[in-house]
Amino acid sequence: MSNNKNVVTFGIDLAKSLFHVCGLDASGKPVVSKKLRRTQIVTFFANQSPCIVAMEACAGAHWLGRKLNGLGFQVRILPAQYVKPFVQNQKNDANDALAIAEASQRPSVRPVPIKTQSQLHLQALHRVRDRLVNQRTRLINQMRGFLLEEGIILRTGVGNFKSQLPVVLSDPSEEISPAMTALINELWDELLGLEKRLKSINSQIETWASQDQAARRLQSVPGIGALSATAIIAAIGNAAQFNKARDFSAWLGLVPRQHSTGGKTTLGGISKSGNPYIRRLLIHGARSCMLHLNREKDRLGAWITDLERRMPFNKVVVALANKLARIAWVILTRPAATYEQMQPTRQANY
């Protein structure tokens, strides 16, 4: 395949087996438009002069990005929502590749950093764990519903359910039909299998968190444990793509949604944009921190107490999650940084 020396930007529309490549010259004019199979894509770019190569953030983008980086190309992986406004006329592979190339030339469109294989593996562990937790919740709710039809009410919570169900099934005074008892026993065995798989996934995540330096430093922050630390690292790496701490918390959707016009600023609830999984972990961590943090030995506790005087509990939780996200950004962007407890100062205005 010939070398296209006039191309300064390539856009690739990724697919399972057939890719479309669009090349733009210095004036932004399309000069290359090709369909390539997956087996041809690396060979094609091996014969091109190094330049900018852009693609959407989707399955396979990080693999191809690492391959092209090794060939000397400057790879830009773009969020799909930033590409959509550049699609012209009808949607097809050629127009999508052109839109990706044009979007990559906009300085305001920030690319997604290429993830390492270690990050992708850690991210996969978290996604498998999240699916298993969801399946466990659905299974327990189904079993509770079946038992409710038999007039048996169990307390809410996974721990309560696991401790009470064997007692109920072994109690001869409970009027459960043999067929229903057999079905519940089968579902109970399925639940135990899910618990075993969850335990294995949690063990792998905790092992990774104990061996990674950045994860250990993140765990020095109140409210951030092995799960939150590894999830953050899997998603953002060293956090260099964010210019300041607020950018990270905004990416997580922990800042107010804004709808302003005519110089009048209107702020609503949190935007809930970005990564919902990490946001959920940080909010759970913030709630735990509010309940268990020793406020007399940490000035973060004084800050929480001051907020509680002025805000409802859930608003304080979200505000604390926002602060934890900012602290996490500082730790990731500063080598060897950790969270240090500091005694609260008297009559300080937090």
pLDDT tens per residue, range 22-36: 999 998 899 999 999
Write the CA distances from 181 to 143, 173, 346, integer angstroms: 11, 13, 62
Closest CA to 275 of 283, 267, 266: 283
Identify whether 111 is part of a domain: no
Identify whether 241 is part of a domain: yes
Average pLDDT over residues 223-244: 94
CA 243, CA 108: separation in Å to the nearest integer?
13
pLDDT at 347 over 60: no
Local confidence band at 350 (pLDDT 50, 70, 90 cut-offs): very low
Q: Which residue has the higher pLDDT, 146 or 172?
A: 146
pLDDT tens per residue, range 156-181: 889 999 999 998 888 887 788 889 99
Q: Are residues 251 and 329 in the same domain?
A: yes
Average pLDDT over residues 247-257: 91
Helix (H) or strand (E) holding 68: helix 61-70
CA 36, CA 40: separation in Å to the nearest integer?
6
Q: Are residues 133 and 181 in the same domain?
A: yes
Q: Which domain holds residue 203?
A: 117-211
Identify whether 338 is part of a domain: no
- Mean pLDDT, all residues of the chain: 91
Q: Are residues 81 and 122 in the same domain?
A: no
Average pLDDT over residues 227-234: 96
Q: Are residues 221 and 326 in the same domain?
A: yes
Q: Are residues 298 and 268 in the same domain?
A: yes
Q: Is there a contact between 115 and 92 (Cβ–Cβ < 8 Å)?
A: no
Identify whether 110 is part of a domain: no
Identify whether 277 is part of a domain: yes
Q: Are residues 193 and 218 in the same domain?
A: no
Q: Identify the DSSP state of 261.
A: B
pLDDT tens per residue, range 302-332: 899 999 999 999 999 999 999 999 999 999 9
Q: Are residues 51 and 148 in the same domain?
A: no
CA 61, CA 8: separation in Å to the nearest integer?
20
Identify whether 298 is part of a domain: yes
pLDDT-wise least confident of 80-94, 151-165, 185-199, 255-269: 255-269
Write the CA distances from 337 to 53, 63, 190, 216, 270, integer angstroms: 35, 31, 44, 11, 29
Identify whether 109 is part of a domain: no
CA 266, CA 216: separation in Å to the nearest integer?
39
Torsion of CA 26, 27, 29, 34, to 10 degrees: 10
Q: Which residue among 50, 82, 104 closes a domain?
A: 104
Q: Are residues 232 and 323 in the same domain?
A: yes
Identify whether 204 is part of a domain: yes
Whole-prediction pTM value? 0.88
Check residue 126 and give its pLDDT: 97
Check residue 346 and give its pLDDT: 58
Domain tally, the chain: 3
- Token pair in block for residue 19: 């890719």
- Amino acid symbol at 285: G
pLDDT at 140 over 50: yes
Local confidence band at 272 (pLDDT 50, 70, 90 cut-offs): confident
Check residue 348 and give its pLDDT: 47
Q: Are residues 176 and 163 in the same domain?
A: yes
Q: Which residue among 211, 230, 263 closes a domain?
A: 211
pLDDT tens per residue, range 100-110: 999 999 988 88
Closest CA to 327 of 200, 179, 208, 221: 221
Instruction: Tell me whether strands 9-13 and 18-24 are parallel, antiparallel or unpaired.
Output: antiparallel
- CATH value at residue 38: 3.30.420.40
pLDDT tens per residue, range 34-70: 999 999 999 999 999 899 999 999 888 999 999 999 9
Check residue 233 and give its pLDDT: 96
Q: Which residue among 183, 211, 239 closes a domain?
A: 211
Q: What share of the chain in percent tops pLDDT 70?
A: 98
Q: Are residues 244 and 185 in the same domain?
A: no
Q: Are residues 87 and 161 in the same domain?
A: no
Q: Which residue has the higher pLDDT, 120 or 347?
A: 120
Q: Are residues 131 and 184 in the same domain?
A: yes
Local confidence band at 256 (pLDDT 50, 70, 90 cut-offs): confident
Check residue 174 and give its pLDDT: 76
Check residue 266 and give its pLDDT: 83
Long-range Cβ pairs for the range 73-82 (8 Å, 24+): 73/10, 73/45, 74/50, 75/114, 76/52, 76/104, 76/111, 77/111, 77/112, 77/113, 77/114, 78/54, 78/103, 78/104, 78/109, 78/111, 78/112, 79/112, 80/56, 82/109
CA 320, CA 288: separation in Å to the nearest integer?
11
Average pLDDT over residues 274-281: 92
Instruction: Kindly give, in sequence order, each residue whose CB lies less than 8 Å from that of residue 205, ignoring residues fewer than 6 positions away.
Output: 122, 125, 126, 129, 226, 227, 230
